Amino acid sequence: MNKQDGLRIGQQQLAEAWQRTLPDTINETDSAIVKPDEANEQALRITIEAAGHQMYSFDFRVEYVDSREVRVELVDVERDGRSVDERTEIIQQLIQDYTRHIHECAQTLHAVTKT
């Protein structure tokens, strides 16, 4: 990230803004927890708990490439506290949906992150 287009908001405030905004962009029955990424001040850790009896939990790492664009990386998928094979069709579809919702949230927060 070049300095001219870097984030002008602290990581904790950014995480709080995401925590307020992300629940509006994901499915109403799902829940999300957003925390600062301790290893990278330009990144956040997002855990999305899928609603329903599947009990899936998706962990994403979201890194700001610049003040407008985020890179979303799946870290892990768990079911009932155990890692699962994320290559199944249903899980791939959920990953795509959540990735899209995360990008939508980033766009919504553009007013907060732009220089």
Determine the pLDDT at residue 115: 57
Beta carbons within 8 Å of 98's beta carbon, 6+ residues apart: 26, 48, 58, 60
Structural domain including 77 reads 3-113
How many whole angstroms separate alpha carbon 78 and alpha carbon 72?
Answer: 18
How confident is the model at residue 56, as a pLDDT?
94
pTM confidence score: 0.91
Continuous H helices in the chain: 11-25, 89-108, 110-113
Consecutive 10-residue runs of the chain (115 residues): their mean pLDDT?
A: 65 96 94 96 95 88 91 95 92 96 95 80
Number of structural domains found in the chain: 1
CATH number, position 93: 3.30.530
